[in-house]
Amino acid sequence: MWLSPILKGYVNQLGGRLTGKVVLTGNADKLNTEGQLQLQQVTARPEVLGERYTIPYGLVHIKSDEIDLGSLELHDMQDNIARVSGVIRHENLVSYDFDATVKSDKFRVLNLAAPETGQYYGTIDAKLDARITGAATDIKVQAALEPLEHSSLVIPLDFSSDVGTYNYIKFKKTEEQLSAWRKKKLKFSNKYNIRIDAVINNNLSTNIVMDPKTNDELFSRGEGNIVMEIPSDGDIKLNGNYKIESGHYNFAFRQMQILNYNREFNIVPGSTIVWSGDLYDAHLNVTGITTVKARLYDLIANEVNRVNLSQQEIADAQLAQIINVRLTASNTLQNPDIAFKIELTENRSIGTYAYQKLERLNTDETQLLNQVASLLLLDQFAPPEGFMNNTAAVSSGTLNNVTDIVSSVASSQLTNWANKLFRVEDLHVGVRYKNYNLNNSLNNGGSPGSIDYLNRNEAKLSVRKNFLNNRLLVDVGGVYDWGRPSQVGAGGSYTANLAGDFMAQYLIRRDGRVRFNIFRTSNYDALFQQNISRQGVGISYRRSFNNVWELFGLARKALASDSTGNTDTLAPAVAPVDTISK
């Protein structure tokens, strides 16, 4: 197409048919041009917008000093229509100067997928009033647009928050790092100078991706007047205020990526993002709230007897209530400061000892972050002394909840890696850790060296594999137990013990109803400080039934339906024999 020299570098996916007659007279220094061109199914895709546009039919008049566009219909891929009019001035068909307008009540102005640009992407339908001016080597696009329903814009960043360390809210990138990052992200290979005056409304859903690795994202809808400038050198500039009316912040714990854990904070209406130039240097004043139901009693469980609280105050602390965890993001997008505050939604506990302790926690950054992590991850307060040395915490199952989650995720990851490494689909690797302690003597005036005190840990590794076309199931593993013993005579030293487990099942019937079992397990008894082994051999029978008649096979139809292979839990046929090995 002869227009390619004009459009090269601005658009791709050029296509269509151009016919007509153009008469050239005069000499090389001064050409007289007259004629008319007919456009049929002409298509083009502007590189900075991503949408492919089509002119189904149109007439363009060629004159000695300009190309008159007349009135053209421009269709987007959803068949929305924009009206194009104006002229392209030229000198001997060599240098070109644009002066055209594009107007539409609904038109797709952005349709970029994530891989196409690292700066922004999304889909925006808008009411459009744009003007295109300037020389072909320096085109200026000034557009006033108002987003319509179902529009979305994504701005990916490389900056992230982290609750894994206490100084994360002080984390800063050096100016050298920021400069190198800007050069990498902000260069956009286009020849446009674009200025967009946008009246933002709730039709536009905005997503700022703080960290794509952890899905740390800010979703919002709001209002504002934003001026966006994209010079030909690619340095995006934004100016204006954006007031958030609704949205949420998907806050991620980067230090706990193995759990893939995120918590959603609802954005408080009235939060703002203010741009004054650099796209990534916007000033944040964003507040989010998430709620949990927790007991204040967990904060004071170890102090109830010491401070002589009344039964009424204890009962109030033991009653779960709605707790607000407030997150405030300030400073800039590239160096956000994240702060937290824990608030009560009810007034009934104000003035109590537990409430006063909560208020003191809000003034201690380290303890506050501990409590926020506990509330967001476990939906309960952590005893200020910590889980590991607190009997109440362990007895409530707090620590076991955490380790169960970590163990389950770790087992899943190890199994996936093992299956890929050894190319075996039915190989399962399991890991498990638990902490257990007993500290009753401390409540009776005892000491950590007394007979009732112990604090131990147990780690288990197991491997399970099926053989003989899934007829033979074998599970082997080991348990390592270590920690402080229970007897005074041990002198407070730590002991460690290693024991092994083995289990095999053979399916006598293919449906698994009749099985031959053999097993050996060994567990460390912390009170007697020795391994207790259990082993056994036997035959088990399992069967599903809906009533007693099906159990004894008195209903043939029930028996037939039961042959589908449904299973219940195993019932050992032979009682295991206990032995003690010192």
Q: Convert 421-474 into a string of H (helix), E (strand) and C (coil).
A: HHCCCCCEEEEEEEEEEEEHHHHHCCCCCCCCEEEEEEEEEEEEEEECCCCEEE
The total number of residues written for the chain in this structure: 582
Q: Which residue has the tokens 């030293």?
A: 493
Amino acid identity for residue 307 in this structure: V
* Selection from 166, 170, 46 nearest residue 117 by Cα: 46
- Paired strand residues for 205: 152
State residue 451's pLDDT score: 42
| Residues in Cβ contact with 430 at an 8 Å cutoff, skipping those fewer than 6 apart | 411, 414, 415, 460, 461, 462, 463, 464, 477
* Selection from 577, 494, 500 nearest residue 537 by Cα: 577
- Predicted confidence pLDDT, tens digits, the chain (582 residues): 555 555 666 678 888 888 888 888 878 777 788 889 899 999 988 877 889 999 999 999 988 888 999 899 999 999 999 999 999 998 877 788 899 999 999 999 999 987 666 678 899 999 999 998 988 777 888 888 899 999 999 888 754 444 333 333 333 444 555 555 455 444 444 556 778 888 899 999 999 887 777 778 889 999 999 998 877 666 678 899 999 999 998 887 654 444 556 788 999 999 999 999 887 788 999 999 999 999 898 888 777 767 778 888 888 988 989 999 999 999 888 788 889 999 999 888 888 999 999 999 999 888 888 788 778 877 888 765 544 444 444 344 444 445 555 565 566 667 777 877 888 777 888 887 776 665 544 444 444 444 445 667 778 888 888 888 888 989 998 888 777 654 444 444 556 666 678 899 998 987 778 889 998 888 777 666 777 888 899 998 877 666 666 666 654 444 444 444 444 433 333 334 333 333
Q: Which residue has the tokens 């409430």?
A: 355
Distance CA 362, CA 494 (A): 37
Cβ(151)–Cβ(125) under 8 Å?
Answer: yes
State residue 31's pLDDT score: 79
Instruction: Count each helix (H run) and each strand (E run) in the chain, helices first.
Output: 10, 25
Q: Where are the beta strands (DSSP E) in 50-94?
A: 53-62, 66-75, 81-91
Distance CA 213, CA 161 (A): 12
Burial environment of residue 371 by CB neighbours within 10 A (0 to 12, 13 to 18, 19 or more) = buried
State residue 471's pLDDT score: 86
Q: Which residue has the tokens 């912390």?
A: 526
Distance CA 18, CA 20 (A): 7
For residue 421, what are its two tokens? 């490494």
The neighbour count for residue 105, using CB atoms within 10 Å, is 14
Angle separating helix axes 398-422 and 365-378, nearest 10 degrees: 70
Cβ(147)–Cβ(204) under 8 Å?
Answer: yes
Distance CA 463, CA 418 (A): 10
Cβ(413)–Cβ(258) under 8 Å?
Answer: yes
Distance CA 225, CA 239 (A): 8
State residue 246's pLDDT score: 93
Distance CA 124, CA 203 (A): 10
Cβ(348)–Cβ(313) under 8 Å?
Answer: no
Provide the edge-to-edge strand list for the sheet that holds 428-439: 428-439, 453-467, 472-484, 495-507, 514-525, 530-541, 577-581
State residue 439's pLDDT score: 52
The neighbour count for residue 112, using CB atoms within 10 Å, is 20
Distance CA 212, CA 208 (A): 10
Distance CA 521, CA 475 (A): 11
For residue 398, what are its two tokens? 């707090």
Buried b (16+ CB within 10 A) or exposed e, 546-559: eeeebeeeebeeee
Q: What is the DSSP letter of 28?
A: S
Phi, psi of 419 (to 5 degrees): -60, -40
* Range 480-483 contact pairs with CB under 8 angstroms and sequence separation of 24 or more: 481/456, 481/457, 481/524, 481/526, 482/456, 482/457, 483/454, 483/455, 483/456, 483/457, 483/526
Count CA within 13 A, CB hemisphere, residue 528.
Answer: 9
